[in-house]
């Protein structure tokens, strides 16, 4: 693969500029209002004739349906809702309409224009709306009438005829049609058990909830109705059809040490472990992130199964015969290959992969399998600077639609011919008018020593036209999730792309920005990801705050004016940084950070994740104490801003309530600011929240790192 990458010389950045939908406007400084207007595309789907791509475009939590014509021109809005979102999009058989779910009903929009129309409206909301392989029917889940639980229904789109095919007293989800449409697979029986708590530090008037979830059982039922057949307990990713007679699903053990693929033959209904896949067993924990698309992917013809495994220390694609046989490793090297996608003719796999020694860059590749995976060949399709992910094949197998980001462009959709050397064509432009791409700062990939001497990677952003003879303020940004990373430019996920845009704003305010990829981060292989094993909040947290040691080597950074902030896991590390090193940073911002891992473990939603890395509090109390910044907030000496949404399920809002209570008890109230966002989720989404959060952080850092309060933007 290295030779192939070296051979490709053309740059995607050049082709992006050449095919831009909107020409850059006159230069102007970024404003917070412009940041709110940056959109994020997702869920691209090809029309049956391959001439158009429909996709969802999100602006500040409001998602609408758009249409791009490959013959040229800007995307056309098929919906223009001012609140809420569209989802579950799919095309009509004739390619003249795009269906979508909204408000618990199915809607349709004509590609020729006009107002969207409801396919149906009902008093009860429908969910899991999935179109049949021939496009003539949909399956969906509806609350049962006059009984507990839910029902699985099918409906013919042409005449509206409906049929109830299954019932469950608890839940139905993950609905999936078999090839040919004769059967449906689904997961049922998962239950949510609500637990309530009213801790003393919050008071009895406010109730906080913990939701315990019980696992689902996988079933198959005839689309015409009948008795559902249980086929096993699936894990993440649900059930996927190999062919009309077999399904495949993956399961990770509760301790995260084993990932197993199962194949179930509907003739017997008995699942068996697929020898072709083997079980991935790890003495530490299964560390591949869910974004990698690591679950088993059957080919359209039912002959092959592709899967992502890190058994050689790096995430790579393997292919095995669906009927039995050994897995063949397709990609090899010190890089991570993700999101395999089969071509319609089942002879090729498209994927995205970072480059050796370039973890922040990802390119699209195609592995030609033919009739023998052992003879597979690989060709890289995109080149140059940027991050290209999630390729999806056109119906004829000749083109790919994918998402691209780079230092000057947030996420946008592109189409490229499925061959080396092809020029990509841009479908969308997510930046608002009036923003000058050329003003954006490109990062430099740097390294510095961690607490044990290991080299820690990071991304350094220095403002344009920086006077290096003077001292400047700096900010350390610590990414969240633990298993995530920074990229060479904009982040690929909407959740973190909003922070990429805000950092470009801060750069234009004169701050130097450094983003570490501490151990645990993706992009660097299994060993780096697993470096947190039995040490969460230890060397990984030191990796993060020791980025300040690198800043000390830059003569133009004023070490008396360095701030630190982060979201989620990054907020957790921010709390460790400002308490373990109370005078290293002038100010810190904790966005929805974990205050105490013992408290985090108690939430069943997170217990398995936590146990896989550091066991239980009873097994490893010292590790949990290490991962509890709340226990030493008495060390805080510098200002701390805390931001949290009340509807956060990733890191419950109660963490920040308890944190503030402890800060007040330790006499740190004069150093603490706390902003609550009613109804907001973990990743800030809504316009009013983004506006307030960015303005508040801008003012906070401006006051403490510059000694001035920025003007309102």
At residue 602, the 3 state secondary structure works out as helix
Tell me the mean pLDDT in the region 375-381: 97
C-alpha 120/C-alpha 123 separation (Å) is 10
DSSP summary character for residue 487: B
C-alpha 646/C-alpha 600 separation (Å) is 16
pLDDT for 508 equals: 96
Dihedral of alpha carbons 443, 465, 433, 687, sign? positive
* Residue 70: Cβ within 10 Å count: 17
Per-residue exposure over 571-604, b if at least 16 CB sit within 10 Å of its own CB, e if not? bbbbbbbbbbbeebbbbbbbbbbbbbbbbbbbbe
Write out pLDDT tens, residues 274-306: 433 467 899 999 999 999 999 999 999 999 999
Question: Above pLDDT 90, what percent of the chain?
Answer: 83
- The tokens for 670 are 């004069």
pLDDT for 72 equals: 84
C-alpha 83/C-alpha 101 separation (Å) is 14
Query: What CA–CA distances, in Å, run from 12 to 9, 89, 432?
Result: 10, 29, 21
- The tokens for 156 are 């013919």
- pLDDT higher than threshold 60 for residue 16: no
DSSP summary character for residue 599: H
pLDDT for 26 equals: 35
Q: Which residue has the tokens 């590390």?
A: 573
Length of the chain: 713
Which residue, 462, 491, 465, 458, is CA-closest to 474? 462
The CB-based long-range contact list for 660-666 (8 Å cut-off, 24+ gap) reads 661/201, 661/202, 662/595, 662/630, 662/633, 663/633, 663/636, 666/633, 666/634, 666/636
Tell me the mean pLDDT in the region 228-253: 87
pLDDT for 271 equals: 57
- pLDDT higher than threshold 60 for residue 6: no
- pLDDT higher than threshold 80 for residue 606: no
Tell me the mean pLDDT in the region 370-379: 95
pLDDT band of residue 18 (cuts 50, 70, 90) is very low
Sheet holding 304-309: strands in order across?
A: 297-298, 304-309, 316-321, 328-329
Question: Above pLDDT 70, what percent of the chain?
Answer: 93
- Domains in the chain (CATH in brackets) are 437-706 (3.40.50.1820)
Tell me the mean pLDDT in the region 648-656: 94
Q: What is the chain's mean pLDDT, rounded?
A: 91
Write out pLDDT tens, residues 207-216: 998 888 888 9
DSSP symbols for 132-190 = -TTSSEEEEEEEPSSSSSEEEEEEETTT--EEEEEEESS-EEEEEEPTTSSEEEEEE--
Query: What CA–CA distances, in Å, run from 550 to 82, 147, 401, 471, 557?
Result: 45, 63, 39, 15, 10
pLDDT for 267 equals: 74
Instruction: Tell me the whole-structure pTM to 2 decimals.
Output: 0.93
Write out pLDDT tens, residues 506-561: 999 999 999 999 999 999 999 999 999 999 999 999 999 999 999 999 999 999 99
C-alpha 338/C-alpha 362 separation (Å) is 10
Query: What CA–CA distances, in Å, run from 316 to 353, 392, 402, 449, 540?
Result: 9, 19, 20, 28, 25
Tell me the mean pLDDT in the region 376-389: 96
- pLDDT higher than threshold 80 for residue 502: yes
- The tokens for 647 are 């509807």
Rounded to 5 degrees, φ, ψ at 607 are -55, -45
Write out pLDDT tens, residues 74-130: 999 999 999 999 999 999 999 999 999 999 999 999 999 999 999 999 999 999 999
pLDDT for 4 equals: 33
Tell me the mean pLDDT in the region 652-677: 97
- pLDDT higher than threshold 60 for residue 433: yes
C-alpha 297/C-alpha 341 separation (Å) is 8
Dihedral of alpha carbons 245, 249, 253, 258, sign? positive
What is the pairing mode between strands 472-478 and 337-342? unpaired
| Cβ partners under 8 Å of residue 404, min gap 6 | 12, 16, 382, 386, 387, 388, 411, 412, 413, 414, 424
Tell me the mean pLDDT in the region 178-182: 96
C-alpha 181/C-alpha 135 separation (Å) is 10
Which residue, 413, 155, 476, 178, is CA-closest to 298? 178
Quick check: 463 and 512 in contact, CB under 8 A?
Answer: yes
Write out pLDDT tens, residues 29-54: 899 999 999 999 999 999 999 999 99
For residue 392, list its beta bridge partners.
401
Quick check: 227 and 221 in contact, CB under 8 A?
Answer: yes
- pLDDT higher than threshold 70 for residue 646: yes
Quick check: 338 and 291 in contact, CB under 8 A?
Answer: yes
């Amino acid at each position: 693969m290295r030779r192939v990458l070296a051979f490709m010389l053309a740059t995607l950045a050049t082709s992006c500029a050449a095919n831009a939908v909107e020409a850059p406007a006159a230069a102007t400084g970024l404003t917070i209002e412009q940041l709110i207007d940056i959109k994020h595309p997702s869920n691209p789907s090809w029309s049956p004739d391959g001439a158009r791509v429909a996709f969802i475009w999100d602006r500040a939590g409001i998602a609408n349906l758009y249409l791009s014509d490959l013959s040229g021109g800007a995307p056309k809005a098929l919906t223009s809702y001012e609140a809420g979102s569209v989802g579950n999009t799919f095309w009509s058989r004739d390619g003249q309409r795009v269906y979508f779910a909204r408000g618990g009903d199915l809607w349709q929009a004509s590609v020729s224009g006009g107002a969207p129309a409801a396919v149906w409206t009902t008093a009860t909301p429908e969910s899991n709306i999935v179109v049949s392989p021939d496009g003539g029917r949909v399956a969906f889940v509806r609350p049962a009438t006059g009984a507990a639980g839910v029902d699985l229904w099918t409906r013919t789109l042409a005449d509206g005829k409906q049929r109830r095919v299954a019932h469950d007293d608890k839940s139905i989800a993950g609905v999936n049609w078999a090839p040919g449409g004769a059967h449906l697979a689904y997961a049922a029986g998962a239950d949510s058990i609500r637990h309530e708590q009213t801790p003393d530090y919050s008071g009895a008037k406010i109730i906080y909830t913990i939701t315990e979830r019980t696992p689902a059982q996988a079933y198959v039922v005839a689309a015409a109705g009948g008795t559902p057949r249980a086929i096993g307990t699936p894990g993440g990713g649900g059930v996927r059809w190999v062919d009309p007679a077999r399904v495949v699903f993956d399961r990770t053990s509760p301790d995260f040490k084993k990932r197993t693929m199962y194949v179930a033959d509907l003739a017997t209904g008995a699942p068996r472990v697929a020898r072709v896949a083997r079980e991935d067993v790890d003495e530490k924990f299964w560390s591949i992130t869910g974004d990698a698309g690591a679950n088993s992917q059957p080919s359209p013809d039912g002959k092959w199964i592709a899967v992502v495994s890190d058994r050689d220390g790096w995430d790579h694609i393997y292919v095995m015969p669906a009927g039995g046989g050994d897995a063949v490793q397709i990609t090899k090297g010190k890089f991570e290959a993700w999101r395999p996608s089969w071509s319609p003719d089942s002879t090729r796999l498209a994927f995205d992969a970072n480059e050796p020694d370039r973890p922040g860059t990802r390119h699209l590749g195609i592995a030609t399998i033919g009739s023998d995976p052992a003879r597979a060949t690989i060709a890289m399709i995109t080149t140059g600077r940027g991050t290209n992910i999630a390729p999806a094949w056109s119906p004829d197998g000749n083109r790919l639609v994918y998402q691209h980001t780079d230092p000057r462009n947030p996420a946008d959709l592109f189409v490229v011919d499925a061959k080396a050397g092809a020029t990509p064509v841009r479908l969308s432009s997510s930046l608002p008018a009036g923003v000058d791409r050329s003003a954006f700062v490109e990062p430099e990939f740097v390294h510095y020593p961690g607490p044990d001497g290991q080299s820690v990677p990071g991304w350094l952003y220095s403002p344009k036209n920086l006077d290096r003879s003077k001292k400047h303020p700096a900010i350390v940004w610590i990414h969240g999730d633990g298993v995530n990373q920074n990229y060479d430019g904009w982040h690929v996920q909407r959740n973190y792309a909003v922070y990429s845009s805000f950092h470009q704003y801060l750069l234009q305010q004169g701050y130097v920005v450094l983003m570490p990829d501490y151990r645990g981060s993706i992009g660097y292989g299994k060993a780096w990801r697993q470096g947190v094993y039995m040490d969460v909040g230890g060397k990984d947290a030191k990796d993060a705050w020791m980025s300040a040691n690198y800043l000390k080597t830059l003569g133009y950074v004023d070490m008396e004016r360095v701030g630190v902030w982060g979201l989620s896991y990054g907020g957790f590390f921010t709390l460790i940084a400002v308490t373990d090193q109370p005078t290293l940073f002038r100010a810190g911002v904790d966005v929805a950070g974990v205050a105490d891992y013992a408290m985090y473990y108690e939430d069943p939603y997170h217990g398995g994740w936590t146990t896989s890395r550091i066991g239980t509090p009873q097994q490893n109390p010292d590790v949990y104490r290490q991962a509890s910044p709340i226990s030493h907030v008495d060390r805080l000496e510098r200002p701390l801003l805390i931001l949290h949404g009340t509807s956060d399920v990733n890191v419950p809002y109660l963490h920040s309530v308890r944190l503030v209570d402890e800060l007040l008890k330790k006499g740190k109230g004069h150093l603490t600011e706390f902003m609550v966002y009613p109804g907001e989720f973990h990743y800030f989404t809504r316009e009013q929240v983004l506006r307030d959060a960015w303005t508040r952080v801008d003012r906070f850092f401006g006051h403490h790192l510059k000694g001035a309060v920025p003007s309102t933007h």
